[in-house]
Amino acid sequence: MARRSSSRACAAMATAAVFALLAATATASGLVRVEHPAKSDGSLSLLVVGDWGRKGTYNQSRVAEQMGKVGEKLNIDFVISTGDNFYEDGLTGVDDQAFEESFTDIYTAKSLQKPWYLVLGNHDYRGDVLAQLSPVLRKIDQRFICMRSFIVNAEIVDFFFIDTTPFQLKYWTRPKDHHYDWRGVAPRQKYITNLLKDMDEAMKKSTAKWKIAVGHHTIRSVSDHGDTKELLQLLLPVLKVNGIDFYINGHDHCLEHISSRDSPIQYFTSGGGSKAWRGVLQPNSDKLQFFYDGQGFMSLQINQDQADFIFYDVSGNILYKWSKSKANYLQPSTYITGENRN
């Protein structure tokens, strides 16, 4: 308990200055909007990790260690979690020790003592969802900022965090032996309709240079879960019509980049935070740029003119880099393919 108290104190001190600058307000649509300033030069650096909460097992601790090293090198502003924050069945309550054992005690590096913006995954919905959304957890570890759907405005970029679990019909109709906590969500159709309306309204009002959507579930994936048909049918049209640049997700326990063949949208999966899957590859109709069915995480460095993505493995090796430029809209994007892997 002493070590946990020390970790909490360290996190609180390290993030106090950052949170003093943050402001959260409700938009006209009802979505919470968090203002997170970019660096003084207008740039932003962050890490993305998903599917991690296993009390350090399945190499979660090793991934966390490398995230700390990369985070320090890039001087990151915050971390994004793409969901499935606590396995196997979310949290049992606000006093569940898994919160500290899978989060506070694992991500201890100084560079990771920044805000963590988190969406819920399907495994989180199998526990006490209201506990994971509770401000009580912020008192335990100030970094933990988890909401169903919300917006983070970082000046040059708007991040639209989307609660994707309720979209998948099978969780409602064929839950098998699992229990899903639908408090605050049911009835499904009304919830999804309102969420899509709110997101569409917020995206249309966005004046940021870049627009990035974040969810747990895949829209396009060649790994075990594959494409999520409900998101293809319901969410993707909203992303397309509003000029979303990137969709970032977890759910599949791998690292991948897929380019859409019928829109500018790029799909990035960062779900290698702990247990990984091996040997599953099922191509879809879009263009697969990169696929790694192992553990790791992703970084994103972005400014007015360019977004740079890098995937890292469990040892911190760079697996893949890709960049997109907006400096000149007539110039094609620059692709750095797997030939550049270490």
Domain boundaries, the chain: 41-325
Kind of pairing between the strands at 78-81 and 44-49: parallel
Tokens for 285, please give them: 């109709």
Is 305 known as a binding-site position?
no
pLDDT of residue 24: 65
3-state SS assignment for residue 320 = strand
84 annotated ligand-binding residue: yes
Class in CATH terms, 41-325? alpha beta
N-term to C-term CA, the chain? 40
CA distances from 249 to 19, 215, 264, 305 (A): 25, 5, 17, 23
Is residue 267 marked as binding? no
pTM for the full model?
0.91
The pLDDT assigned to 278 comes to 78
Sign of CA dihedral 289, 246, 180, 271: positive
Residue 296, token pair as written in the block: 């790791």
CA gap 177, 102 in Å, rounded: 24
> What are the Cα distances from residue 158, in Å, to 28, 65, 209?
16, 28, 8
What pLDDT does residue 18 have?
47
The single residue of 36, 123, 217, 225 carrying the catalytic annotation is 225
Q: In the prediction, which pLDDT does 338 show?
A: 43
Answer yes or no: 257 catalytic.
no
| 122 labeled part of a ligand binding site | yes
User: Among 297, 300, 317, 296, which Cα is nearest to 266's?
Assistant: 300
Q: Summarize pLDDT for 261-297 with one digit per residue, the tens.
A: 999 999 999 999 999 987 889 999 999 999 999 999 9
Instruction: Say if residue 123 carries a ligand binding annotation.
Output: no
Q: Which residues in the chain come in under a pLDDT of 70?
A: 1-29, 328-342
Question: Edge to edge, what strands does the sheet with 32-35 contain?
Answer: 23-26, 32-35, 150-153, 157-161, 210-214, 246-249, 266-270, 255-259, 287-292
Q: Is 317 annotated as a binding residue?
A: no
- Ligand-binding annotation for 51, yes or no, is yes
The DSSP 8-state label assigned to residue 339 in this structure reads G
Q: 54 φ, ψ to 5°? A: -130, 30
Read off the pLDDT of residues 291-317 as tens digits, 9 standing for 90 and up: 999 999 999 999 999 999 999 999 999
Per-residue model confidence (pLDDT) at position 279: 81
